[in-house]
Every structure is written in C-alpha cells, then in structure tokens.
Amino acid sequence: MEDIDAATLEDVEAFFRTYYAPNNAVLTLCGDFDRDEALALVQRYFGPIPRGPEIPPLPGRPEIASRLEAEVRETVTSAIALPRVYLAFRIPAYGQDDFFPGDVTANLLATGKSSRLYRALVREKRLAQSVIAFAFPIVTGSAMLVIWATANPGVEVAKLEQALWTELEPLATNPQPDEIARAVTGIESRQLIALQRVGDRADQLSMFATLFGEPERINTELDSYRAVTAEDVRRFALEYLRRDSAAVLTYLPETDRVDT
C-alpha cells in the first residue's frame, strides 16, 4: 500500500495519459452491422482522440518459483458469522499448458452439487455450508488456485481443513475420469453459452487481443480443455496441490479468537 499512498495527483495523471490512450487500446465490434459503415463511425467518434506517448516496455515475466518453498499459515479474526478456511496454491500462469489441467481440477473439486468437495463436505459430512474452488487466470509470473470452505455452526476449522485435504490428496494418485469428463463438459457448456452473447464474445476477443495479441485464441481455447486427461490432473495435483507449498488462511469470528 505504501506506493499507492505515496502517489501524487501528477503521478495518476501521467499514468492515465500514458496508458489510457488509443495506441494502447483494443476496440472490438461484435454484432450484425455493415463493416464499412461501422469503421466510418469508429473513425468519426474515436479518430480525433490524440495518440498518447510511446508505451514504456512492460517488465519481463517476474521470476516466481513454481510453488512456495514451505507452508504459509495465517489466522485472522473478523466480524463474521462463521469460520472459513482458504487453501491457496501457485500454479502455472494462464496461457501455459499446465494452467488448463489446473482449471479443470478446480471445476471438478467444487463446481456444482456433484463436485467432489460439495458432495463430501456439504452433503455427506455436513461440515461446510459452502465450498468454492477457482483458478485465477493470471498471465504473468504465477496464477493461483484457491479453495475456500465456510464451516457449518459448531464445526471446528481444523476438522474442516483436514476434510479438504482428505478429498484433495487422492487426486495425486487416482483421479476419476468421469469427474474430469464432467468438469470439461461444464467448462465447454458455459463457454459456448457465453459465446452466444454478443457482449461476452466481444469481451473474450478483447481479452485475447490484449493479453496475448491473438484474438483468434477464442477459436482454440476449448481445445486446450478438451485435451486434459486423468494423467494431466494427477500430475498437476502431485506437483502443485501439496501441503508443503500451500498458503492456508483461517478466518475466525472474533468470539472464536485463539491466542498463539
């Protein structure tokens, strides 16, 4: 926060002039329109905006270890109703081959009521009110897979955390092909539904153009998910979903504070 707090109005204005300019923007048009007419309107409304200064080269990909060297553990108390446990792991950046097994793993763990963690922790053991897993698609350095579960009243957070590991660890030895197939099908279904919406299609084209300089990735992204196998998930879990490289954050209600 120190660098943000130290920013002056002049710093903010200079940043805006440098990066919020036509020569650093992607404009995407989607829909049923006449191409020549649309380009004429783009020129009319956007053409007069002056070009900004030359964009400074971005720093190279930060040197970040593929995983933490040891477990990191923190406990925080706050004005919340129920305890919550977070498990976070570094994973390959979005766009790298191993990101896609990671995203499939997150989906098979906690997307939908038939997912591994929901079935075990919410329905069967009744330890959690909810459980979520998400692979954050960060494109430089390292992405992140985060799992979090909110405890049911009266459930000890240590028991909830252990239940998470009990479901995670078998993925490194025996992932189930049917789970993987369901996860990939869910990803494919959500993606195809999104592409039917003009706004979502424009967003994805803009994202791929901005992040990778390849808007055509919109046509091949699903192939990367369809190619994920049980062996890919097993290898991913063995490499990245490890106790000795996890960041564990426990949120406790203020009344449950434990002095250490």
Of the candidates 17, 19, 27, the residue with the CA atom closest to the CA atom of residue 56: 19
Distance, in Å, from the CA atom of 58 to the CA atom of 29, rounded to the nearest integer, reads: 27
Reference 183, options 226, 128, 148, 136; nearest CA is: 226
CA distances from 120 to 109, 156, 188, 207, 233 (A): 10, 16, 25, 36, 19
CB 52 within 8 A of CB 18: yes
Closest CA to 100 of 169, 170, 183: 183
DSSP 8-state class, residue 235: H
pLDDT in tens, the chain (260 residues): 788 889 999 999 999 999 999 999 999 999 999 999 999 999 999 999 999 999 988 777 677 888 888 999 999 999 999 999 999 999 999 999 999 999 999 999 999 999 999 999 999 999 999 999 999 999 988 999 999 999 999 999 999 999 999 999 999 998 899 999 999 999 999 999 999 999 999 999 999 999 999 999 999 999 999 999 999 999 999 999 999 999 999 999 987 655 54
Residue ranges and CATH numbers for the domains of the chain are: 2-46 (no CATH), 72-256 (3.30.830.10)
What is the pTM for the complete model shown?
A: 0.89
Which residues, in sequence order, are CB contacts of 139 under 8 Å at separation 6+?
93, 94, 95, 211, 212
